Structure 1
Amino acid sequence: MLASTQELLETARRNAYAIGAFNVYNLEGVKAVINAAEKLRSPAMLQIHPSALRYGRSMLVAMCLEAAKAATVSVSVHLDHSTDQQDIQDALQAGVRSIMADGSPFEYGKNLDFTRQMTQLAHQSGAIVEAEIGRISGTEDGLTIAEKEAKMTDPLQAVAFVRATGVDALAVTIGNVHGEYKRPPRLDFDRLAKIRQLLEIPLVLHGASGLPAAMISRSIQLGVCKFNVNTEVRQAYLQALKEEVCGKSPSDLLEIAGAAITAMESVITEKLALFGSVGKAHLHETSYAAMLASLSHD
């Protein structure tokens, strides 16, 4: 069922697990996420990166929304890492009700202004907004941020930012990176604990590809209720295509697509288990029913 990202995150936070948010680019990616979520009875999120949005436009959004509606578990659709007002407007017009207004490439004042404007725009459409304070290094979808440009999230600045913008969730930078970790990851859990102490809204950690289980678990204990995963799923997709297409006897096109789905589904299954969301679908069904009951009494 198509779910509210806010409900997914709040329920996950109350019950000490996290939602897996997986970037998708085509039907194979969507099927991989839905298949894994349904088999494990887990909630999940379909994420669309701006590069994928510009490639697939409203057709990609429509596919994600229809897949979420048809799923037997709670699934939401989210626009990831958008720095462009037009992309956000296009996503909202296409029916997306969860966006990331990413002003982190800008200096703090411009980030605040951009995020506040996009939050007002999104809220007018009934959408929720994730923002980011700090700057995550690494490479994702062709965008590379050098380590020297990375900046940790300042807890006190995060409080002022959330109050000024009215955002619904915050992505934090505590040593996490986009893409592959070039050295063993080191996360600043003291910083995360301070942010959690000061903020009530859901916290998000990008760059979950490559994080060990112990760090995932500790992050959840300290309030992270959404992890973004992209790199490992894409790598599984590309490797499966390479093996199928370059094999001695190339397979039928649908068999190639099926192998790619299976490869991505394996990674997604592993991540959902790490995030602790396996078997939690019923919690969201209960929350959804309670919300409908509440609305009927208003």
Structure 2
Amino acid sequence: MRLGFNCVMFDGSGLALEDNIESAKEIVKQATKLEIDVEGQVGRIPSQKERINRDFLTDPETAACFVHQTGVNALAISVGNVHMLIHKEFSVDWQRLEKIDKLVSIPLVMHGGTGFPDKLIKKVINKGVHKFNVGTILKKVFLEELRKNLTQKDLDRINPQELIDSTSERDILKKACSSIKETIKTKLEAYGSAGKVKM
């Protein structure tokens, strides 16, 4: 927190509820002194290799209690979302999301944004989701661009200095970063975030 971040995320979802509350409360106390927002989490978000268990899902009343007792600024929830989902989309428990939105007055956070269906983005935004966490698709795009560029090169005949960190048009890292930027632009448009920051 002392490195200049304006927001931190504490995932205590693997703890007993009482321990999650106490830990989050202490983090909020320290963060408030530094004018830093804190995102907490209630409910467990599975990875793509796990079977979704209803016990993982966020209980609306528990979420409201957690927010009230901790003072977190945003809440990550589990409503069917799945970490690292690439080849398929997950389904949202709409009744659960609506109830959480009614009981919790702070912004909700959707982890597992890579597997979230684009056609439902506006709908969940209207149900209180203010932030999507997206990482897997960015890593995938980066690696795919690297692979594409490496397979096009005869590595025995090329100067490695030109391929990596040269900032020339042949720099494969520069190309991979450009592909991430394009993906981010697409996501910003989908989330309705494009053009919101004043430069």
TM-score after normalising by structure 1: 0.59
Give the secondary-structure state (helix, strand or coil) at the position aligned to 1:171: strand
Say yes or no: does 1:256 pair with 2:172.
yes
In structure 1, C-alpha distance between the alignment counterparts of 2:89 and 2:67, rounded to whole Å? 31
- Summarize deviations over 1:272-295 as a string: whole Å, max 9, x none: 11101123335xx8xxxxxxxxxx
Seq. identity, %:
34
Show the counterpart of 2:183: 267
Instruction: Give deviations 1:124-160, integer Å, cap 9, x for gaps.
Output: 2221100000000016xxxx76634861111111111
Question: What do the CA deviations read for 1:94-116 (whole angstroms, capped 9, x no partner)?
Answer: 11121001101112121111111
- Aligned letter for 1:153? T
State the shift of 1:183 in Å. Answer: 4.8
Task: Give the secondary-structure state (helix, strand or coil) at the position aligned to 1:94.
Answer: coil
Distance 2:60 2:54 in 1: 19
Question: What RMSD over aligned residues (CA atoms) do the two structures have, in Å?
Answer: 2.1
After superposition, the Cα gap between the structure-2 partners of 1:256 and 1:184, relative to the gap in structure 1 and judged at 3 Å, is closer
Q: Which runs of 5+ in 1 are unaligned?
A: 1-91, 286-298
Alpha-carbon offset, residue 184 of structure 1: 3.8
Amino acid at match of 1:267: T
Distance 1:192 1:168 in 2: 18
Q: CA offset at residue 182 of structure 1?
A: 6.2
1:108 matched to 2:17: yes
Quick one: structure 1 residues 183 and 238, their matched pair in 2 at CA, closer, same or farther if it must change by over 3 Å? closer
Find the aligned partners of 2:113 and 2:82 in 1 and give their Cα distance. 8
Structure 2 residue runs without a partner (length 5+)? 156-161
Q: How far does the alpha carbon of each residue in 1:184-209 deviate from its partner, in whole angstroms, 9 at most, with x for none?
A: 41101121111111121111111110
Greater strand percent: which structure? 1
> Which residue number corresponds to residue 279 of structure 1?
195
Native 8 Å contact 1:138 1:177 kept in 2: yes
The corresponding residue for 2:33 is 124
Distance 1:94 1:149, change over 3 A: farther
Alignment of 1:124-273 (within 5 A): 124-138=33-47, 147-148=52-53, 151-180=56-85, 183-249=88-154, 252-253=163-164, 254=167, 255-273=171-189
The structure that is helix-richer by fraction is: 1
| Matched residues, number | 188
Distance of aligned partners of 1:273 and 1:152 in 2 relative to their CA distance in 1, 3 Å threshold: same
Q: What TM-score results when the alignment is normalised by the length of structure 2? A: 0.86
- Partner AA of 1:218 in structure 2: K
Give the AA of the match of 1:147.
I
Instruction: Give the conservation status (yes or no) of the 8 Å contact 1:133–1:153.
Output: yes
Aligned to 1:13: none
